[in-house]
Amino acid sequence: MVDQEQPSASGGEPIRVVVVDDQELFRRGLTMLLGVEGDIEVVGEAGDGVAATELATSVAPDVVLMDVRMPKRSGIEACLAIKETTPTARIIMLTVSDEEADLYDAVKNGASGYLLKDSSIDEVAQAVRVVADGQSLISPSMAIKLLDEFKQMSRADRQQVPTPRLTERELEVLKLVAQGLNNREIAKRLFISENTVKNHVRNILEKLQLHSRMEAVMYAVREKLLDIP
């Protein structure tokens, strides 16, 4: 089903978050810091990928913050399992891994966000809000690496594949999504409403038959729909 850009948390209730990391000190610290945020509630913790899947199935969180490298089941494997058992949960990978392969696999397995552990607590809290609102977010440095990777793939692949036609405005929106901008920032840049941006993103996903904003960017770069230098 195409991502309709609908928020996971509604009605003014706190965003329910599960924190997953095999390092207890980091996990507890993150839980305490997020607990200070008035609109975020940590509803559980887990120390490995298997426990994370069981916990997510049990408490049905809005957002799962999860490390990539963990015992028993990696965060990327757990990502796929959680999306199967709790499809409404949005997943943010929070990791030290800046490898493009991990980012690509995380997105492919259903992650909506990818942050590095050197992010500030404010950046993590904002990522939780953005992802709970149905958007996607990755660290800017990782976004650049991802686009570089797909530009190389695009150059290597000389085959021309027929692609659905996007409007000029949809291409403008897609380019800004590729630069890591969220809906509000795109709306300001293009002087249009946030709802109009959401409609454009929804139309892009439907036309490309994709499930997330990040998949759309990957597809667009691979198929040479974007003129990124």
Tens-digit pLDDT profile for residues 213-228: 777 777 776 776 665 5
The region of weakest confidence among 41-45, 59-63, 69-73, 125-129 is 69-73
pLDDT band at 191 (very low <50, low <70, confident <90, very high): very high
Of the chain, the percentage scoring pLDDT greater than 70 comes to: 80
Domain edge (last residue) among 138, 163, 178: 138
Distance, CA of 206 to CA of 4 (rounded, Å): 9
Instruction: Say if residue 122 is in the same domain as residue 151.
Output: no
Is the whole model's pTM more than 0.85, yes or no? no
Range of the domain at 20: 15-138
- With contact defined as beta carbons under 8 Å apart, do 221 and 151 qualify? yes
Predicted pLDDT at 147: 61
Find the mean pLDDT for residues 15-34: 90
Instruction: Say if residue 158 is in the same domain as residue 208.
Output: yes
More confident residue, 150 or 173: 173
Let me know if residue 7 belongs to a domain.
no
Instruction: Say if residue 85 is in the same domain as residue 168.
Output: no
Highest mean pLDDT among 11-20, 58-67, 70-79: 58-67
Over 90: is that where the pLDDT of 17 sits?
A: yes
The region of weakest confidence among 7-11, 146-150, 171-175 is 7-11
Q: Got the DSSP string for 163-180?
A: -PPPPHHHHHHHHHHHTT
Instruction: Say whether 72 sits in a helix, a strand or coil.
Output: coil
Instruction: Say if residue 128 is in the same domain as residue 148.
Output: no
The region of weakest confidence among 131-140, 181-190, 197-206 is 131-140
Instruction: Say if residue 27 is in the same domain as residue 82.
Output: yes
Element (H, E) at 93: strand 90-95
Let me know if residue 66 belongs to a domain.
yes
- For the stretch 118-159, pLDDT in tens is 888 888 898 899 888 888 777 766 666 666 665 555 555 444
Average pLDDT of the chain is: 79
- With contact defined as beta carbons under 8 Å apart, do 135 and 216 qualify? no
pLDDT band at 163 (very low <50, low <70, confident <90, very high): low
Instruction: Say if residue 102 is in the same domain as residue 173.
Output: no
Let me know if residue 53 belongs to a domain.
yes
Find the mean pLDDT for residues 151-177: 68
Q: What is the dihedral angle through the alpha carbons of 97, 102, 106, 111, rounded to the nearest 10 degrees? A: 30
Predicted pLDDT at 63: 93
